């Protein structure tokens, strides 16, 4: 395989083979470059290319765990301004593969594995090798995990080798699979280009532009490749959040109607049960129609007399860390700033309005100062140690503010990420949760800014175990916050089903917590105790087995078994769905069962085993 990069300048020719508009691969700009330094191996080092007219391309390759981090740059020394239409983070040539693995994603249905052969993708070459065959996919907008995760794995069934790639890009991205005349593949990826992402970038004489990162890993199974990619992520998990502690979020308890009294009632009920964080979700601000006043962040003092500090103090008095929800980058129609056009993201000169929302221009110093007061200031003054950041729509194809809509979008999202960093700088140790209508921002550059993430908005549906297990392929389980929403009418089997799903990541409780019977509470505490016993496996282990044969999320069939291993111990999690048959894991000879949870005796039930091998 060959690892290199590609770029495309305005005015230069595109490749033939009926590919214009599908790809910029193989364009005339690249004909001017020659390799000057380094190699094109998948190994650490810097590779340098120079063009005949003063351009320099560099590929930076750095080993990280068992993976390779890659990014590229282009420097303009032509003596005049140039315009870019495309710069890849990576281009990998001479790839032998017959299967393509992608992860699809929509709201409350994240991470579904899609595996196709080259034939099924219609990429096999033509009879005389004329005409490029191309599969190009990605995402436009500021919800990078919508339709697809920025992930790809290619498998060679003959050799058993796989190569996996994960992009670190929180706005528009693309990946291309191109079948060459010799039936090998070339795979490229990075920022969405002019064709796909409405992106162009001007580069003055002497300027350098750098691509987002990607991580590349190789292995013999998809699970091992994904484990290497995930372990190459280095999130900023605070010391307060490093021990897989259990949390409670009140949203599925109050449904957007929190108050001092009902949060106090929750607090009194869960105090002393080993829960570390109690998060107050949406509805603490504005009027009773809180969804219309997003952006003002005025405490609703009818609900919280004296502001948020009294309830934060009360939560801390009960031995827990208080948390608070914001959707800080957006404004709703009832906000007093909804028409403050000079401070909002615009498209074609008008405020960009999506589903009744508008968006702050995060590059605007006034906006940064305003949010510093309304978000950082309130958190600090009230003593909150946990921040849930939600983000409930996307900027789409792009916006005004740069030489192209795609470049303006990229800059706005980078500015948002800088504000995440500012929060950490001003509130050291704060725990930040990455939420975007659940899982629309579950890509590595966002995950590295946060301690945890909402794995999904699928809080009470049957497919929670499927989504939660799929997340092992793309984010660290110790960042994947999975909710067990407990209802007073829940059967024993239903409670076990919900609690067992949290074993795929971080346990978060919600629901009718103060209406549960003593018997139900005993079962919840049993599940919490089991979770603590295997939390180091969840955090540090490797997923060695993941079996679910069906494709439907809405009406799951059969059963799912996932096994995770660490330091001579294993955690096996079985969920039975409709028309299931009880198939327990095959325990190796000499296995010692340490603990069990659940019965798994019927459809829509669960059982988990912790054992030594």
Let me know: does 216 contact 70? Beta carbons within 8 Å: yes
Angle between helices 518-533 and 492-501 (to 10 degrees): 30
Residue 127: predicted pLDDT: 87
Q: What is the DSSP letter of 38?
A: S
- Bridge partners, residue 561, by sequence: 547, 574
**Which residue, among 360, 263, 278, 374, has the nearest Cα to 326 in the 3D structure?**
374
Angle between helices 260-270 and 309-317 (to 10 degrees): 10
Residue 549: predicted pLDDT: 79
Residue in the block written with tokens 């190796």: 588
pLDDT means per 10 residues in the chain (613 residues)? 97 94 96 97 98 97 95 98 98 97 97 96 89 94 98 97 98 96 93 98 98 98 97 88 94 97 97 97 93 96 97 98 98 97 98 97 98 98 98 98 98 98 96 98 97 96 97 98 98 98 98 95 98 97 92 91 97 96 89 97 97 95
Per-residue tokens: 11: 């005015």
Residue 347: predicted pLDDT: 98
- How far is residue 141's CA from residue 120's CA, in Å, rounded to a whole number? 28
Q: What is the DSSP letter of 343?
A: G
- Bridge partners, residue 110, by sequence: 105
What is the pTM (predicted TM-score) of this model?
0.97
CA atoms within 13 A on the CB side of 269: 22
Residue in the block written with tokens 């016993």: 533
Residue 126: predicted pLDDT: 87
Residue 240: predicted pLDDT: 81
Per-residue tokens: 317: 């008095």
Residue 237: predicted pLDDT: 85
**Which residue, among 531, 519, 538, 515, has the nearest Cα to 270 in the 3D structure?**
515
Let me know: does 345 contact 399? Beta carbons within 8 Å: yes
Which residues, 6 or more positions from 548, have their beta carbon under 8 angstroms from its beta carbon?
466, 469, 556, 558, 559, 560, 561
Residue in the block written with tokens 């995760």: 149
């Amino acid at each position: 395989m060959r690892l290199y990069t590609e770029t495309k300048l305005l005015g230069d020719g595109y490749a033939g083979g009926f590919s214009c508009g599908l790809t910029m691969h193989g364009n005339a700009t690249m004909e001017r470059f020659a390799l000057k330094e380094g190699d094109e191996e998948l190994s650490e080092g810097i590779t340098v290319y120079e063009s005949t007219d003063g351009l320099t391309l560099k590929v930076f390759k750095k080993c990280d765990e068992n993976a390779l981090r890659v990014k590229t740059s282009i420097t303009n020394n032509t003596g005049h301004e140039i315009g870019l239409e495309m710069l890849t983070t990576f281009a990998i040539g001479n790839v032998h593969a017959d299967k393509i693995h992608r992860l699809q994603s929509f709201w409350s249905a994240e991470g579904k594995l899609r595996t196709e052969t080259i034939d099924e993708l219609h990429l096999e070459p033509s009879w005389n090798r004329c005409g490029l065959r191309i599969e190009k996919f990605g995402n436009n907008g500021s919800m990078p995990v919508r339709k697809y995760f920025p992930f790809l794995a290619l498998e060679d069934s003959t050799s058993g080798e796989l190569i996996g790639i994960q992009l670190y890009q929180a706005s528009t991205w693309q990946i291309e699979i191109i079948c060459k005349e010799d039936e090998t593949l070339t795979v490229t990826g990075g920022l969405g280009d002019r064709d796909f992402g409405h992106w162009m970038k001007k580069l003055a004489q002497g300027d350098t532009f750098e691509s987002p990162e990607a991580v590349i890993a190789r292995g013999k199974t998809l699970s091992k490749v994904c484990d290497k990619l995930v372990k190459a992520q280095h999130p900023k998990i605070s010391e307060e959040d490093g021990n897989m502690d259990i949390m409670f979020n009140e949203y599925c308890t109050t449904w957007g109607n929190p108050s001092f009294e009902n949060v106090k009632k929750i607090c009194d009920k869960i105090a002393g049960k080993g829960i570390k964080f109690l998060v107050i979700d949406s509805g603490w601000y504005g009027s009773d129609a809180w969804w219309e006043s997003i952006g003002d962040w005025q405490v609703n003092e009818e609900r919280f007399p004296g502001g948020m500090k009294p309830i934060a103090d009360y939560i801390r008095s009960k031995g827990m860390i208080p948390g608070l929800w914001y959707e800080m980058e957006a404004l709703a129609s009832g906000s007093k700033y909804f028409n403050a056009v000079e401070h909002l993201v615009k498209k074609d000169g008008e405020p960009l309005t999506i589903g009744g929302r508008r968006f702050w221009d995060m590059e605007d110093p006034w906006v940064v100062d305003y949010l510093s007061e309304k978000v950082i200031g309130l958190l600090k003054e009230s003593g909150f140690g946990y921040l849930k950041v939600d983000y409930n729509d996307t900027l789409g194809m792009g916006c005004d503010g740069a030489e192209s809509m795609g470049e303006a979008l990229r800059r706005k999202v980078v500015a948002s990420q800088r504000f995440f960093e500012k929060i950490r700088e001003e509130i050291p140790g704060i725990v930040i949760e990455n939420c975007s209508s659940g899982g629309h921002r579950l890509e590595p550059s966002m995950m590295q800014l946060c301690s945890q993430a909402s794995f999904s908005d699928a809080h009470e549906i049957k497919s929670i175990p499927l989504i939660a297990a799929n997340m092992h392929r793309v984010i660290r389980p110790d960042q994947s916050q999975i909710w067990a929403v407990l209802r007073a009418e829940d059967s024993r089997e239903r409670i076990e089903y919900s609690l067992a799903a949290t074993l795929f990541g971080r346990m978060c409780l919600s629901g009718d917590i103060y209406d549960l019977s003593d018997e139900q509470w005993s079962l919840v505490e049993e599940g919490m105790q089991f979770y603590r016993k295997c939390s180091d496996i969840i955090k540090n282990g490797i997923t060695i087995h993941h079996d679910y044969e069906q494709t439907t999320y809405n009406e799951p069939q059969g059963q799912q078994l996932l096994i995770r291993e660490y330091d001579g111990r294993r955690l096996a999690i079985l969920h039975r769905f409709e028309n299931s048959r009880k198939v327990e894991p095959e325990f190796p000879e000499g296995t010692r069962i340490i603990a069990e949870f659940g019965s798994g005796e019927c459809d829509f039930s669960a059982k988990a085993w912790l054992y030594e091998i």
